Structure 1
Amino acid sequence: MALLNFKKREAPRAEGVSPEVEAFLQGYSIEVMPRTAAKVENFRDLLPEGTRVYIAHIEGTPIDEMVATAKRLAEDGYPVMPHFPARIIKDEATLADWVARYQGEAGVDQALLLAGGVAAPQGDFHCSMQLMETGVFDKAGFKRLHVAGHPEGNRDIDPDGGMKNVEDALQWKQKFSERTDAEMAIATQFAFEAGPIIKWADDLKAAGVTLPIHIGIAGPAKLQTLIKFAIACGVGPSLKVLQKRAKDVTKLLLPFEPTEVIGELAAHKAANPDFNITNVHFFPLGGIKTNATWAIENGGAATRPANAS
């Protein structure tokens, strides 16, 4: 019944939302961690039916907690996509065990593969490509694999601040997508400025990387919270958007909302239908409820056609 109540409440939204933004937000996904998910009494009161929920696997989180969170979300009817951070996975046997547990206990058949942001590998793997090469996901029949993207670079991969290694890795993953049955897409780190995101996506496409892009967007949060996470996650040039706002004392205590960046990306998508950014992926840095409410008020609904990216 909670889901029915949610559906009745989701129709009203903020006036003035453009059709472009409403279309762009269809099929959004959102990320949780076991500890943040545990604080949510009922996800059906917050997320529309069909919302893809990523579960971030932070170093030190027991696999039991990850699987339990996946099971809970799956039982509530949400497609679950757990993270598989290469650098915290001991070996192929551990990887196969995690896949078997997610699949057997929670019916999971999709995953986000990433290096993991840990400086020193704790086992045999140091990058997501090695996880893919094991064939474990293929053998388990995983239907969808997402890989990480970094519109502003990643100093764990390119310590000099460049983009070469990141771009080479995406070229490899593009080729991998062409020889696997799994549907693939790029899920990115969050950024705050549309211009560099658009250029990065266009440059990837020009270089032959045609995987759909699910662009990372930080949900509404206090400015100080966003700046803290942006620095910790290595967000680069677009951090200046937050720093500029921080200089305005009248806005310092107000929540920062992703209205501007989403509006610009949505307008670009509407003007360029072949634009390779297909979905929005939210990082709910100000809380899941806050993010989910903002998405619905701005016309977002998660359900997409079966053939969508």
Structure 2
Amino acid sequence: MQVEAAARLKEMGYVAVPHLAARNFRSEADYTRLVEAHSGNGVSEALFLGGNPPLFPGPLGESAQLLAHAVLKDSTIRTAFVAGYPEGHPSISEASLADALRRKLDICADRSLEARIVSQFAFDGRAIAAWARAQQGEHPAAAIHVGLAGVTSLTKLIRFAAMCGVGPSIAALRRSAGGLLNAMMDRNPADVLEAMTANYPEPVSPLHFHFFPFGGWEKTLDWFSNYREACSPQVIGQ
């Protein structure tokens, strides 16, 4: 299904970025076949993840193993997105996250893959700004894509945040609910972007955005188009 979806997106003129999670593969052969199938369609970018299941069937348990695998050498995938966590990870220490990111970036450099860091979504603009500043300082060669929740209801945002382990800023979301009517209304990430801008007004290099639309991609695109027109380029990045 993923291969067919990626091929269709490419035919429509979009850049397909398949998500490859190590713990979802039952064997290395399964991973090899999937990469080869995407290469057959000319897919050039992919997001490499460890995956969530604590118990998994195959020998692949972390994204670094996917990046280091020999199949990528002869594949069409030349851009590798790797994960970042502005608010940390619920089951991985900060030191382990930092070490894993360095290893992944080193692997990409050794294999001539363009590495780009894309973050989990969060709702604390100050924390996101601090994380982006730190990553650009430590890894200046890697582009940073800041994860933002798209336009959707507050109740849905809280549910997805709990599912994805976005803990520290859930409390702020719940406080903003106020009442039933406010909880049912759509929320946009303008306050997050404004807090980021206030705390990191002149990034070392451009910050890119990666929206998690949660089904509301049309509303998110419409809102962002209007927001870009209302704001200066310095505020909205790319």
Aligned to 1:297: 226
Q: TM-score, normalising length from structure 1?
A: 0.69
Aligned to 2:207: 278
Aligned to 2:77: 142
1:287 aligns with 2:223: no
Instruction: Answer with 247-256 or 222-231: which moved more.
Output: 247-256
Which structure 1 segments of 5+ residues have no match? 1-64, 301-308
Which of residues 243, 247, 260 in structure 1 aligns to 2:174? 243
Task: Name the CA distance, whole Å, in 2 between partners of 1:122 and 1:149.
Answer: 25
Aligned to 2:127: 196
Aligned to 2:234: none
Paired residues, number: 229
Residues 34-183 of structure 1: pairs in structure 2 closer than 5 A? 65-104=1-40, 106-156=41-91, 158=92, 162-183=93-114
Aligned to 1:8: none
Cα deviation digits, residues 254-286 of structure 1 (max 9, x gap): 2111111123334555x31415x6210000125
Residues 256-267 of structure 1: pairs in structure 2 closer than 5 A? 256-266=187-197
Deviation at 1:150, TM superposition (A): 1.2
1:209 aligns with 2:139: yes
Task: Name the CA distance, whole Å, in 2 between partners of 1:218 and 1:87.
Answer: 25
SS of aligned partner of 2:165: coil
Task: Name the CA distance, whole Å, in 2 between partners of 1:230 and 1:155.
Answer: 12
Cα deviation digits, residues 1-41 of structure 1 (max 9, x gap): xxxxxxxxxxxxxxxxxxxxxxxxxxxxxxxxxxxxxxxxx
8 A contact 2:82–2:116 mirrored in 1:
yes
Aligned to 1:11: none
8 A contact 1:223–1:256 mirrored in 2:
yes
8 A contact 2:28–2:58 mirrored in 1:
no
Amino acid at match of 2:52: G
Amino acid at match of 1:225: K
SS of aligned partner of 1:120: coil
Q: TM-score, normalising length from structure 2?
A: 0.88
SS of aligned partner of 2:112: coil
Cα pair distance change 1:107/1:177, threshold 3 Å: closer
8 A contact 1:225–1:286 mirrored in 2:
no
Task: Name the CA distance, whole Å, in 1 between partners of 2:57 and 2:132.
Answer: 32
Deviation at 1:235, TM superposition (A): 0.2
Deviation at 1:297, TM superposition (A): 2.0
8 A contact 1:194–1:264 mirrored in 2:
yes
8 A contact 1:221–1:285 mirrored in 2:
yes
State the Cα RMSD in Å: 2.0
| Structure (1 or 2) with the greater helix fraction | 2
Task: Name the CA distance, whole Å, in 2 between partners of 1:141 and 1:279.
Answer: 23
Task: Name the CA distance, whole Å, in 2 between partners of 1:285 and 1:199.
Answer: 25
Deviation at 1:94, TM superposition (A): 1.2
SS of aligned partner of 2:148: strand
Amino acid at match of 2:218: K
Aligned to 1:56: none
